[in-house]
A and B are shown apart, each in its own frame.
Chain A
Amino acid sequence: MISWYLATPLVLPFLTAVLAFLLRWGRAGRWISVAGNVALLGAAAILMARVLEDGVIAGQMGQWAAPFGITLAADLLSAVMVVITAITALAVSVYALADVPKRAEHLGYHALFNVLIGGVCGAFLTGDLFNLYVWFEVMLISSFGLLVLGGRPEQIDGGVKYVTLNLISTILFLSGVGLLYGMTGTLNMADLAVTVPQLENQGLVTLIAVMFMIAFGVKAAVFPLFFWLPAAYHTPFFSVSAVFAGLLTKVGVYSLMRMFTLVFTGDTGFTHEILLWVAALTMLTGVLGAAAQNDIRKILSFHIVSQIGYMIMGLALYTPLALAGAVFYLVHHIIVKANLFLVGGVAERIAGSTDLGRIGGLYKTAPLLAVLFLIPAFSLAGFPPLSGFWAKYVLVAAAIEIEGWAIAAVALVVGLLTIYSMTKIWAEAFWKPHPDGTDPTLASLSAHDRRSLIWPIASLAALTLVIGFFPEPFVTFAERAAGQLLDPTAYIEAVLGGPAT
């Protein structure tokens, strides 16, 4: 029975994809996508309720006991990632009603999109390392299709870089899985958590850990492996940018968090120290990269990189507070970052471009959009009392708590530079008069488009406000999730059954 709680969020997107593909010629396809994601959100909520009540839950697919079959497992981190994935997917599928052209729908946009979501959910829910690889591939191949859909030359160019670098990471991941299997004879993550510490050659374990770190590091877009992201994320449809920005790198971050709290915890003095350096450099290079850009989507893309640094920082510090900060950051970031891309799409629609030199005047004549930009933008910049403030606060406090002065300073300085970038978009796109002397308004959109574009943005912004004003439940949740990560006994017991040995 438990299996169904876990399998439903995984199966639903594929079902949605198939139906949406079959009905892609009419309007039904896109509404199936929306409906499917409503259902996904329901399934995710039920899963979350279950996990909140029972703690970690695990289901053995095909009833083959762990570690022999494939296990799906959900702790609080997995559950919240699935919920947030469903929220993002729903928002983007509504937005896509007005953003994705018919031509792309006919070529299977909705199928690709929903398979992507399926892959993401699979990655969050699986308890098996090779199975994680499979979901990564599902995600990757559908992201390839989504990225180039539209076929503009920039997309193809960005696509080449995105595809090549991600394929390298994939191969590295696959080899890592093979090698780890060669050392332990198992693929089940909980089983790995039990076996790996017992291995003779712990130096080799560290070596494999570094290999995973690099493979997931490419996916998470950390320094110095992030090139594919700013090269490609500004080119596809805004819906696609948004869902990529929100979810894809976070699967990499999630995987790092999972492996480096569950399996690779024997040499934290080495691995987590590397992660801390990576975090600092990722934050800095990402934010400086953004400062050099002059296009909304390019600025936002580099900021994804810089924000990933914060999450890695939480993992690297490896204290209860720091991990709680990382979890909180993940959730906050997905909502905010996806939303900013969606806002960028509306700005492009009504003002004509995302190039800051060619647009302006949105504050004067599109105040609603201005507010809807300001909420996620200032949240990203870490202004209180928005969600991003609490995320940064917890991380900085965690750093100061263990006297990590340097990393705390980096986190704060990067926060300041984030303010710089966000206000740059604000000043150029919103405050500055439009260079053509026109007054962009939301009224220039058809009523249908306006509804489809604004509702998702407004809902995500509302969520940002809720997290910001009522952070307590989210903080306690993040602390509980961090507790589960730091003490994986419950996870191992849930998967392998009975007290872990």
Chain B
Amino acid sequence: MSAAKTEASASGNGWVGLVPVALAASLFVWFLSFVPQIGAGEVVRLSWDWVPSLGIALSFLFDGLSLTFALLISGIGTLVLLYSNTYLAGHPQYARFALFLTSFMLAMLGLVLADNLIAIFVFWELTTITSYLLIGFGHETYKGRRSALQALFVTGAGALAMLAGFILLGFSMGSFELSEILAQGDALKAHAMYLPILILILAGTFTKSAQFPFHFWLPNAMAAPTPVSAFLHSATMVKGGVYLMARLHPGMAGTDVWFWTLTVAGAFTAVFASFLALRQTDLKQALAYTTLMALGTLTLFLGQTSAYAMTAFAAFLIVHSLYKAGLFLVVGCIDHGTGTREADILGGLARAMPVTAAAAALSALSMAGVPPFLGFIGKELKYAGALEVQAMETVVVGALVLANALMLAVAAVVAYRPFWRPAGGAMPHTPHEAPWPMLAGPVILAVLGAFFGLFPGVLQWALVDPTVAALTGGDLHAKELKLWAGVNMPLILSAVTVALGLAIYAGHRSLRAALIRATDAGPNFDRGWDRFLEGLKALAAWQTRVLQSGQLRSYIFTVFATVLVGLGGTILARGVWQGFPDLSGVTWMNVALMALILIGAIMAAITRSRITAIASLGASGIGVAMIFIAFGAPDVAITQLLVETLVVVLVAYALLRLPQLDRPGERDWRPWDAVLALGVGAVVTVTLLAVLATPFDRRLTTYFETASWPEAFGRNIVNVILVDFRALDTFGEIAVVVIAALSAYALLRTTTDKAAKPATQKDKAS
């Protein structure tokens, strides 16, 4: 991570660095000003027209849920931007970085506040794009580029499914305004399209929130600079999916599909990710997997409908954002201060980095769910919520206990070992404390975790109650957040968790080795991604070889085959064939002309001799001219003869300067081509016969005959048509001939230099 090695200074990046911080901070304050209103149970809605003809508006809704998210996003955003300004001080691409990060924050705010489905999608994709650019901040490495693409592609795929789901939802319910749709939740749940809508939308939320089996992109996204990881991959972007499920909860939850899908996916992701978290030695990777665990847990609770589950969701959402962002920033400080993030190397940092150590400890205790931190309240509520799930309580509770115990172990790995245990190896630089702008974030977040633990009432009133109201459509009230709820089942479970967690930490090294063996044996989704891309490329290459072979003959064959199949198929499908025509009027003269044309054509097709070919073409052309003469078109005949003569002369001129038609000893006999050719000829004849069998409408010609002399003053009707009635055709015709001459001349005179590849593009002097 070259960026981290840039020597940090408190001076940052000047105004480029400070303006985004100020913007984020003022947004935070602005959102804060909504708290009294929203806390009192009000909902604020703002709306502007955007694409009214498609039912798309820029409408925003401030309720408990969106305000909670908005505060987390803008608050953590402020701290992260402040942190980044120092973390990446003097980086040549800081301006872009700040632009992307600020844009990301704004997009995320748009996403959680928008009330219109399509507006939500627009902001959703904006977060995808900006995170693509942020993950690719280390764009000079292959890994950075790969991770960026992976995140973009996986979440992009889900997003497109989600778009289909949104459109379907909008059409099914007759509105794209989410608040209107959710108000008819029962109708939605009973709708025939409920299941497809749900599946499509969940495809979007599961990919965005990295639920199993779409989880693999998130740890790779840690290629981004650490503040980005803290922001995008803990507090905000990945929670976009969770947010959306929460938003839809009042309208869509309560069905069996909803319950089973979210519960199973959430529980599985939580446990699976916790094990993987313990497996990691890179602190940031370990945190990344714990984020997956948190997302799984949140998803699990959204699967339920009980008041405990909803309260657990609201509380844990806030807890997790606070401690996870804090810990990511701590890891950034460690990386910054020591040059490594390897758990096995780091140690004894508490002396050199006391403030970081304190912040880490506070956040980790919250993460571990130890009283009196907010994390403890969150965990108690989780257990209370889990005990109320509508099926498989024991499995869910067991899963949560295991996941939380693992979490505690990971918290110790991240926040205890590096600071308080001896170092396991030489660190790249001598550890030193981070400057204050980098400490502000971790400290504030850690202190908030403790503060809310001691005074949960503030949080309850300001955010949790309104959030639960939003989640349930106002049907349920939140349960109380309290540190001491008496000796009850959750408390017992907590005790079990702590004991188990400490045990796991004690044996985490050997457990890690076992985990590495176990996971290596299982399917590797990240490698699956590579295989998917390789498969895609192989398919593309195969298709290109087959279709775009570079062989002109196969192109022409395909085009004529399309003609044969298209026309032949239509003739059969639509019964065009009208029976054999009447040939009674045919004269010997006609047959002779036809013979002349056809013998010429066939000779031209089969001959190997250039002279014969030229002569045959000429003969065939003369035959055509004679037909024109025979049927009252002397002008056409003269032109045809003239042109035919020119053609023959030109072909003869060219042929004499070019080699023989066939290479010596080669015969140009192609049976399949002949079959195709005969087929095309046959459909042409059938088509023409069918056209000739229809009655003919001569009204245009009748008009020309009567108007030619009186109105256009010409006696040769053909000429009058050309120069007057249809003069525009003649204008175009002249243009074609002139340009043909010009093009042919240019073709002969243009540069011949075979070596001049890009030079032709560059030899412009002016």
Contact = CB atoms under 8 A, between A and B. Distances in A.
Asked whether the complex places CB atoms of A and B closer than 8 A, the reply is yes
B385 to A, nearest CB: 36
A2 to B, nearest CB: 16
A207 B163 contact: no
B555 A161 contact: yes
Contacts of B749: 107
Interface string A392-431: 0110110011000000110011011101100100010011
A407 B692 CA distance: 39
Interface string B541-576: 101100110101001101110110011001101111
A141 B747 contact: no
Contact of A195 (B156, B536, B697): B697
B23 interface: no
B168 A400 contact: yes
Given A131-B732, A182-B696, A204-B694, 7 more contacts: A145-B743, A164-B552, A165-B556, A208-B691, A214-B562, A291-B536, A349-B761
11 contacts: A68-B703, A101-B761, A101-B764, A112-B743, A227-B558, A291-B540, A413-B160, A415-B160, A416-B153, A430-B139, A472-B51
B558 A151 contact: no
B151 to A, nearest CB: 11
Interface in B676-694: 684, 687-688, 690-694
A463 interface: no
Contacts of A107: 745-746, 749-750
Contacts of B560: 168
B167 A400 contact: yes
Contacts of A432: 139-140, 145
A379 to B, nearest CB: 12
B152 A384 contact: no
Interface stretch (A183-191, A255-263, A491-499): A183-191
Given A141-B736, A142-B739, A423-B149, A206 B543 contact: no
Given A184-B697, A348-B758, A420-B153, A148 B750 contact: yes
A378 B139 CA distance: 18
Contact of A401 (B51, B171, B559, B732): B171
A302 B547 CA distance: 12
Contacts of B161: 412
Given A348-B761, A384-B125, A207 B742 contact: no
Interface in B244-292: none
A228 to B, nearest CB: 7
Contact of B552 (A160, A213, A237, A417): A160
A257 B669 CA distance: 41
A103 B140 contact: no
Contacts of A67: 700
Interface in B716-754: 724-729, 732-733, 735-736, 739-740, 742-743, 745-747, 749-752, 754
Interface stretch (A132-140, A244-252, A334-342, A454-462): A132-140
B114 to A, nearest CB: 12
Contacts of B96: 367
B157 to A, nearest CB: 5
A291 B537 contact: yes
B548 A227 contact: yes
A394 B128 CA distance: 21
A108 B126 CA distance: 46
A61 B558 CA distance: 40
Nearest to B756: A152
Contacts of B34: none
Interface of B: 49-54, 93, 96, 118, 121-122, 125-126, 128-129, 132, 136, 139-140, 144-145, 148-149, 152-153, 156-157, 160-161, 163-164, 167-168, 171, 536-537, 539-541, 543-544, 547-548, 550, 552, 555-556, 558-560, 562-563, 566-567, 570-571, 573-576, 578, 684, 687-688, 690-701, 703-704, 707, 724-729, 732-733, 735-736, 739-740, 742-743, 745-747, 749-752, 754, 756-758, 760-766
A231 B551 CA distance: 10
B757 A138 contact: no
Contacts of B762: 101, 349
B761 A99 contact: yes
A175 B683 CA distance: 13
A69 B694 contact: no
A134 B729 contact: yes
A131 B556 CA distance: 27
The 4 closest A-B pairs by CB, nearest first: A145-B743, A185-B697, A203-B574, A431-B139
A148 B692 contact: no
A352 interface: yes
Interface residues of A, number: 132
A134 B758 contact: no
Interface in A167-191: 168-169, 172, 175, 179, 182-187
Nearest to A353: B758
Given A69-B725, A145-B747, A185-B700, A475 B53 contact: yes
A384 B729 contact: no
A488 interface: no
A385 interface: yes
Nearest to A394: B54
B53 A472 contact: yes
A4 interface: no
Nearest to B574: A203
B164 A400 contact: yes
B544 A122 contact: no
A185 to B, nearest CB: 3
A493 to B, nearest CB: 19
Contacts of B695: 200
B543 A150 contact: no
| Secondary structure of the B contact surface, majority rule | helix
Contacts of B128: 383
Contacts of B51: 390, 471-472, 475
Interface of A: 14, 21, 27, 61-62, 64, 67-70, 98-104, 107-108, 111-112, 115, 118-119, 122, 126, 130-131, 134-135, 137-138, 141-142, 144-145, 148-153, 160-161, 164-165, 168-169, 172, 175, 179, 182-187, 195, 199-204, 206-208, 210-211, 213-214, 217-218, 224-225, 227-228, 230-231, 237-238, 267, 270, 274, 285, 288-293, 345, 348-349, 352-353, 363-364, 367, 378, 383-385, 389-390, 393-394, 396-397, 400-401, 408-409, 412-413, 415-417, 419-420, 423, 427, 430-433, 448, 471-472, 475-476, 479
A179 B685 CA distance: 12
Nearest to A284: B543
Contacts of A378: 129
Contact of B726 (A70, A394, A415): A70
A354 B171 CA distance: 44
A400 B171 contact: yes
Contacts of B697: 184-186, 195
A172 B758 contact: no
A104 B732 contact: no
B514 to A, nearest CB: 37
Contacts of B541: 292
B732 A134 contact: yes
A182 B699 CA distance: 12
A207 B700 contact: no
Given A227-B547, A352-B758, A472-B52, A204 B556 contact: no
Contacts of B732: 119, 122, 131, 134-135, 137-138
Contact of A131 (B125, B570, B728): B728
A230 B550 CA distance: 10
A348 B698 CA distance: 58
Contact of B691 (A62, A149, A179): A179
B555 A206 contact: no
A417 to B, nearest CB: 8
A206 B764 contact: no
Contacts of B750: 103-104, 107, 148-151
Contacts of A195: 697
A231 B743 contact: no
A292 B163 CA distance: 27
